[in-house]
Structure 1
Amino acid sequence: MSYQWYSPPPQAQSHERARRHRDWSRDHRSNRPPPYTNLPQESQGLLGNPQLEYGSVNTNGSADGQPAKRTSRRAVWVWTIVACIFGYLISYPIPSAYHESLRRGWARDENRHAVLVRQWTAEVREHNALRAKMQAEREAMDLERKRWDKEWDEHEKRKEDARKEEEKQKEDKRREDKERKEREEHEKEQKERRMREGLFWTGFGPSQCVKYGTREYSATLAGRVPLEYDPREECYEKTIEIHGRSVKPIRCDEQDTCGRPLARWNIDFDEAACTTWWGYFHDKGCYSTGKRHFEAPLENLQSEDHWRDICGTTPAAIRNVYYSSPTSCAEWGGRKWGMWDVDDGSCA
């Protein structure tokens, strides 16, 4: 069995050296011999147990060899506990009034809280009742709105049906009016056709020639014309066939002795008897600067014809130049003459 020598930590050794140095310095100044002490290494026994040698003094512990530091710690703990108990005993009566005031404040807070709880409970009850009332009113309002919506839909449906019925009636009325108008027009056309079939021309015949290649015809409209019709309009609408063509009158302004319209036509086709021409062209020389004067007699003119109108519309060709009418017409020597003033550059 081996034993190890106990060695204190280096810090404890340095503290011990410093303490011995202070003691030595004090003893040296006082001329006293140093105390007989052992180093910690020398006072340590086996297994770390300190052993005192003969003739040495234990300066680190009590008389029984226990360390003084442990005894001081026990005393500190004991005195601390005693101080706490004493402080508690003397401090107990002091905060009782404060604690009582706190308890009274807590009681007031609890009472106030209870009042608030009761008020809140009442308000919650009232709020729930109000919510239930509002919910009932909302449900009633929803039912009322649904009823209104249903009534509105029915009203709109009736309105739409009425509109469709009105449109149908209007359409029926328009169709009836159109049919009635067509029927009336058809009846009117039939009546006019029957009435016009009863109208006829009387005294139709040719008259004199009114211009070149055109003869006038005349006739009187006979038959019964109803009072609601204008005889002149019927005269203008009544046709007659001349030279194989159906033509309408150009004038219905005159009336015969019986008040019947007198119609007149100017026929400008297939009227060879009204076709006149010019005889020999006589060169009368220069009439003025740049103008030469020609004269020619009008041939194939009937005694009853309007010679001035026929002369003014009879064309001519002079020196291979076409002229639709003469410059002027004149009558002398029992004959009708046409006169032309044509351009001639040789007339200076």
Structure 2
Amino acid sequence: MSSRRYDNPPPYSLSSSEANPLIGTRRPSRRHQSSCVFAALIAFFVVAFTVVNLCISLSEDPLDPDVRERIRKEWNIELRRHEEEVLKRIDIKKHWLLEDNDRIRSREQWRTEVKEHERELEERRKHEEEERLRLNMFWTDLASHTCTTYATREYTARLVNVPSYYNRRVEACMATPVEIRGVEYTPKWCEDHGPNNVVGHWEVDQHEPDCASYWNWYKDFGCVSPGSGQRRIEHYLENLPSGADWKEFCATTPASFNGMHFMGSEICFQWNGGTYGHWVFDDDNCK
């Protein structure tokens, strides 16, 4: 067997790795470029941060004359502001003290005037009392009138022995008591019709049984409406004085029921010549 000879070598392929040059320029990859840019940015920011901090440190250095001068000016401004605020507070305090002193003086003056006025009134009252007793003024023609309100009757009388020159007749009338049913009362008001015609008026609310009306015929009308929580009650008014104001007596005659007390009726009305009182009050049984 004869050996095979290769007179010509096989063709050289350009795709082989051996065709790549070992030394020479080569275009960097994109990943490599991004890494370089990022590293450069980091280096730039580090340098910038260092420079800024250095500038700030230099600008705040207390040994720097410019910094010390700037701090001194700021202190002076704050000091002036503080002094102005202190002066303002001192002025306000002085103003308050002046106002307090004025109020104290006004209060003391008012108290002095009140005491002086009370003293003058007391002296005048004593003088009038002495003069009234000296002149011997007294009441006559005491008369009872109609009942004005619950258990209260009006009385009148005429003050006599009043001199014609006496110019304080109303004051003398108001200061002169009269005895009614064993009790002394001073007038509620007076009418001056001349020296011999001074009339006093009394409203006596004691020992007047003829003027004492009362409630009778208690009637429970039940709940005002379902779920209202309120109940309606009516009473009939007894012993209403003849000629008296039925509305006044209905509103002033006391009533007590269901453990409650009322000074008079809440609503008053008349029906068939009778006077009725009407009450509406809270009741849990109506809820």
After TM superposition, the score normalised by the length of structure 1 is 0.42
1:326 partnered with 2:265: yes
The DSSP-based 3-state class of the residue aligned with 1:279 is: strand
Mapped contact 2:132–2:172 kept (Cα < 8 A): no
Mapped contact 2:149–2:252 kept (Cα < 8 A): yes
1:275 partnered with 2:275: no
Mapped contact 1:218–1:262 kept (Cα < 8 A): yes
Mapped partners of 1:244, 1:309: distance in 2: 27
Name structure 1 gaps, 5 residues minimum: 1-184
- The answer for the alignment partner of 1:265 in structure 2 is 202
- The answer for the alignment partner of 1:221 in structure 2 is 159
Post-superposition Cα deviations, 1:318-338, rounded to whole Å, max 9, x if no partner, equal 223222221121112101111
Mapped partners of 2:281, 2:128: distance in 1: 60
- The answer for the alignment partner of 1:118 in structure 2 is none
Mapped contact 1:202–1:219 kept (Cα < 8 A): yes
Mapped partners of 1:260, 1:227: distance in 2: 14
After TM superposition, the score normalised by the length of structure 2 is 0.51
The DSSP-based 3-state class of the residue aligned with 1:295 is: strand
Mapped contact 1:221–1:261 kept (Cα < 8 A): yes
Mapped partners of 1:208, 1:320: distance in 2: 33
- The answer for the alignment partner of 1:200 in structure 2 is 138
| CA shift in 2, pair 1:211/1:189, >3 Å | closer
Runs of 4 or more consecutive aligned structure 1 residues displaced over 6 Å after TM superposition: 185-188
- The answer for the alignment partner of 2:250 in structure 1 is 311
Higher relative contact order (CA 8 A, sep 6+): 2
- The answer for the alignment partner of 2:172 in structure 1 is 234
The DSSP-based 3-state class of the residue aligned with 1:203 is: strand
Mapped partners of 1:188, 1:212: distance in 2: 35
Name structure 2 gaps, 5 residues minimum: 1-124
The DSSP-based 3-state class of the residue aligned with 2:224 is: strand
* Higher helix proportion: 1
Mapped partners of 2:220, 2:126: distance in 1: 67
> Match for 1:278: what amino acid?
W
Number of aligned pairs? 162
| CA shift in 2, pair 1:225/1:257, >3 Å | closer
> Match for 1:192: what amino acid?
R
Identity of aligned residues (%): 32
Mapped partners of 1:187, 1:212: distance in 2: 38
Post-superposition Cα deviations, 1:286-314, rounded to whole Å, max 9, x if no partner, equal 22512111111110111122222221111
Mapped contact 1:225–1:231 kept (Cα < 8 A): no
> Match for 1:314: what amino acid?
T
Equivalent residues in 2 for 1:58-69 (5 A)? Answer: none
Mapped contact 1:277–1:314 kept (Cα < 8 A): yes
| CA shift in 2, pair 1:283/1:230, >3 Å | same
The DSSP-based 3-state class of the residue aligned with 2:202 is: strand
**In the alignment, which of 209, 219, 225 is matched to residue 147 of structure 2?**
209
Post-superposition Cα deviations, 1:261-300, rounded to whole Å, max 9, x if no partner, equal 3211111111111111111111122225121111111101
Deviation at 1:227, TM superposition (A): 2.4
Mapped contact 2:220–2:234 kept (Cα < 8 A): yes
Deviation at 1:259, TM superposition (A): 7.5
Mapped partners of 1:209, 1:326: distance in 2: 18
| CA shift in 2, pair 1:259/1:328, >3 Å | farther
- The answer for the alignment partner of 2:187 in structure 1 is 249
* Higher strand proportion: 2
Mapped partners of 2:211, 2:241: distance in 1: 8
Q: Which has the larger radius of gyration?
A: 1
Mapped contact 2:170–2:192 kept (Cα < 8 A): no
Deviation at 1:189, TM superposition (A): 5.7
> Match for 1:312: what amino acid?
A
Mapped partners of 1:346, 1:270: distance in 2: 41
Equivalent residues in 2 for 1:43-58 (5 A)? Answer: none
> Match for 1:230: what amino acid?
R
Post-superposition Cα deviations, 1:212-246, rounded to whole Å, max 9, x if no partner, equal 21111112222323424311111101110011111
Post-superposition Cα deviations, 1:139-195, rounded to whole Å, max 9, x if no partner, equal xxxxxxxxxxxxxxxxxxxxxxxxxxxxxxxxxxxxxxxxxxxxxx99876543121
